[in-house]
Amino acid sequence: MADEKKVLMGMSLSELKSVVKDLGMPQFTAGQIAKWLYQQHVGSIDEMTNISKANREKLAEQYTIGAMAPIDCQRSKDGTIKYLFPTQDGKFVETVYIPDGDRATLCVSCQVGCKMNCLFCQTGKQGFEGSLSAGDILNQIYALPERETLTNIVFMGQGEPMDNLDNVLRATEILTADYGYGWSPKRITVSSVGVKNKLKRFLDESECHVAISMHSPLPEQRQQLMPAERQMSIVEVVDLLKQYDFTHQRRCSFEYICFAGLNDTTMHAREIVKLLQGLECRVNLIRFHEIPDVDLPGADEKRMEALRDYLTNHGVFTTIRASRGQDIFAACGLLSTAVKGKKVKK
């Protein structure tokens, strides 16, 4: 619609400077707007009380904050909460809040659906419906009821971050900038299956942690699980990562879902050690929770512990990630699949 207002959330300071310039406002107003947005989390432009009433009205004629509350949630007995957020273009994405003692992690989405079509992932079975704007990414934090408790953010929700890299980088800039949330980039982890050229750009332009979805060290087997292996192999991914320094605060990790008899053998463990030799990193072993129409058996605890112990004893620091939210299907894609086809009322 021609009279649709533009969204302020997701704009960088330089973009806000362009907005105030176009509206004939003083340049410093951009910094004021940024603080009201990203530090005060106001619900309306009228709450920006250190901006003159005339300028607030001028701004409100063309712009809106863009905050949209979640429309649904599921609460687990372990404290995990899965939220369903609307997007500005009327779709839905999932966000999972995971409290753990004095830590609270938010798993955010960056796309509606996903192009990667990994065999074990419900989101990939939705098909791809579009990438989120930086504002839609940030809204998952902005409009989160538990926002003030967050200690960490992981881009491990729906979608492939490198396939929406511009908006992911814009969102992480706002999260880490002085004018924005002011977070350390070490509180943010961005995951990827490995996308040629995009992964390198992320490593060059961001200081956030990186997590790579491995799931098999064997290229042929990984390709069966993850078609993206054809475009950028796990060997290419690791060779690229070895060009960067992860010996200080920035961390590199590998996600590894364990499937019984498929990728949890001693042979796989040996190949992981060989592949990661010379790279400062860690491996997170993940239990597989069944999803509809996917015939993959999850590895049992004993096999996962044996895999962890082998890797750790051979110099690859490895942990088994605690399962969370099993009773609410916290794995991505299940809640949004249920409402697919419905439209958000704005």
Catalytic amino acids? 94, 332
CA 25 to centroid of chain Cα atoms: 35
**Nearest Cα residue to 172 out of 207, 130, 139:** 207
Query: Cα 52 vs. chain centroid, distance in angstroms?
Result: 37
Q: Supply 83's token pair.
A: 């939220």
Query: For the chain, what is the total number of helices (H) and then of strands (E)?
Result: 12, 14
Q: Residue 84 class from Cβ within 10 Å (0-12 exposed, 13-18 middle, 19+ buried)?
A: middle
Is beta strand 252-258 parallel, antiparallel or unpaired with respect to 282-287? parallel
**Residue 73 structure tokens:** 């949630």
Pair of tokens at residue 29: 């107003």
Q: Six-digit token pair at 159?
A: 């979608």
Question: Which pair of tokens denotes residue 245?
Answer: 């320094």
The residue whose two tokens read 């993940």 is: 286
DSSP state of 43: S
How many CB atoms neighbour CB 244 within 10 A? 15
